[in-house]
Amino acid sequence: MSQVVVVGAGLAGAKTVEGLRERGYDGRVVLLGAETERPYERPPLSKGYLQGSDEREGAFVHPPDWYATHDVDLRLGTPVASIDLGGRDVVDGSGTRTGWDHLVLATGSEPRRLDVPGSGLEGVVHLRTLDDSDRLRALLGAAPRVVVVGGGWIGLEVAAAARAAGCAVSVLVRDPLPLARVLGPELATMFAELHRANGVDLRTRTDVSEIVADGAGTHVGAVALADGTVIDADLVVVGIGAAPRVDLARSAGLRVESGVVVDAHLRASDPHVLAVGDIARAHHPFLGTHVRVEHWANALHQPSTAAATIVGADEPYDRLPYFFTDQFDLGMEYVGYVGAHGYDEVVVRGDLANRELVAFWRRAGRVVAGMNVNVWDVVDDVQALIRSRAVIDRDRLSDPDVPLGDLL
């Protein structure tokens, strides 16, 4: 009987084993996870669960008995130490070897660390796991002064949660604006204004030089900036991005270039190995390039393609990149891909000042990405504009009275 081994028991790993069973795969399935919690989703960790509006159980991908019911050998607390491509097995931390006919890597990402003096002090935390979110949730109730280092999605969502918990919050960003590299200055400004309007002390063009200990010498007491400024802090949350966990793949001899390089069917340089989620740098048929996206939607949807590939179906992964955020009273969805070619302009339809709009990134008159802010049920229309590759009249694109569905 054939056997599929999935390394990484997060959302991507859990959806891979689900996809295999849904597609009728009747071989053995083994899911190996380093954490002791059964697979869960990560968006609630910095959003609803962190703020106390979502229940803990809601983060889990499946009920506790799902894995046994679907004949999935779920092994938690089992980190994988190495992969033997020639012998077609994996070796876990205890030295146990598990053979495979197909191997799926779903090892995800890990937070980047702040490399400054004092970064190991108590009260300096990262947010990646459910345990991290539990700990941070408790700390926010006892830390009146919070400093967030980093102005990406996680940093800004944590800042919003900290303000909701009544904390004084400072956000430190190296760039001129938070999210500038993702959204460009036109829309990044909106997020800066949102946080400042909600009482966040947002400081841009700043570098942290040291995390300063309190009087006891073991806990954070302040954050020192390169310009000499010192900001008092009871808690420091580091959110400066994440790095894909590719050491296993690289050590095994798989092709790794800013992620595990895979084709549109998610096959790695060894065709019996697949990669899904954060680590997968996949060839995208529509975009015509390799893309690696560290967002929930890839972890949710790529596993179906991986399962299809394993059972012999021809279903390349061609969903457009998608992500979302909730901060204060702002809800947003983004779909598309600007990529290395950049964009010529951002066209806004709606009210930017009141943060109720749809924005379009255009290149050569064509929509390459779109973002709806506090406007709902338009993602399908935005995707249709992108996939059409049509040159859209700018005035009609910006006119809220012209339905998006009528632009094609």
Q: Is 128 exposed, middle or buried (0-12, 13-18, 19+ CB in 10 A)?
A: middle
Task: Tell me the per-residue pLDDT of 152-178, one tens digit each, with 9 for 90 and over.
Answer: 999 999 999 999 999 999 999 999 999
Question: How sure is the predictor about 137, in pLDDT bands with cuts at 50, 70 and 90?
Answer: very high
Contacts of 110 (CB under 8 A, 6+ apart): 128, 242, 243, 245
Query: Is 302 within 8 Å of 282 (Cβ atoms)?
Result: yes
Angle of helix 11-22 relative to helix 296-310, nearest 10 degrees, comes to 30
Contacts of 85 (CB under 8 A, 6+ apart): 252, 253, 254, 270, 273
- The whole-number average pLDDT for the span 96-125 is 97
Query: How far is 200 from 156, CA to CA, in rounded Å?
Result: 10
250 closest CA partner among 240, 260, 242, 241: 260
Residue 341 C-beta-side C-alpha neighbours within 13 Å? 14
- The whole-number average pLDDT for the span 77-102 is 97
Residue with the two structure tokens 């390089």? 261
Residue type at 21 in one-letter notation: R
The two three-digit tokens of residue 31, written as one number: 């899911």
275 closest CA partner among 26, 129, 291, 289: 291
Q: What is the largest CA-CA distance in the chain?
A: 65
Query: Is 336 within 8 Å of 368 (Cβ atoms)?
Result: yes
Query: Is 78 within 8 Å of 191 (Cβ atoms)?
Result: no
**pLDDT tops 90 at residue 190:** yes
Sign of torsion over alpha carbons 132, 69, 275, 2: positive
Query: How far is 319 from 335, CA to CA, in rounded Å?
Result: 10
According to the model, what pLDDT value does residue 90 have? 98
Number of helical (H) and strand (E) elements in the chain, helices listed first: 11, 26
Query: How far is 212 from 220, CA to CA, in rounded Å?
Result: 6
The two three-digit tokens of residue 11, written as one number: 């959302």
Query: Is 323 within 8 Å of 296 (Cβ atoms)?
Result: yes
According to the model, what pLDDT value does residue 301 have? 98
According to the model, what pLDDT value does residue 27 have? 98
- The whole-number average pLDDT for the span 297-323 is 97
Q: Which domains does the chain have, with CATH numbers?
A: 3-110+242-310 (3.50.50.60), 113-238 (3.50.50.60), 329-406 (3.30.390.30)
Contacts of 398 (CB under 8 A, 6+ apart): 347, 348, 349
**pLDDT tops 90 at residue 340:** no
Q: Any idea what DSSP says for residue 360?
A: E
Query: How far is 157 from 173, CA to CA, in rounded Å?
Result: 14
CA torsion, ordered 336, 46, 348, 285, to nearest 10 deg: 0
CA angle 367, 288, 186 (to 5 degrees): 35
Average pLDDT of the chain to the nearest whole number: 97
According to the model, what pLDDT value does residue 1 have? 86
Enumerate the β-bridge partners of residue 236: 124, 147
According to the model, what pLDDT value does residue 303 have? 98
According to the model, what pLDDT value does residue 69 have? 98
**pLDDT tops 90 at residue 376:** yes
**pLDDT tops 90 at residue 231:** yes
- Torsions phi, psi of 362, nearest 5? -120, 145
**pLDDT tops 90 at residue 40:** yes
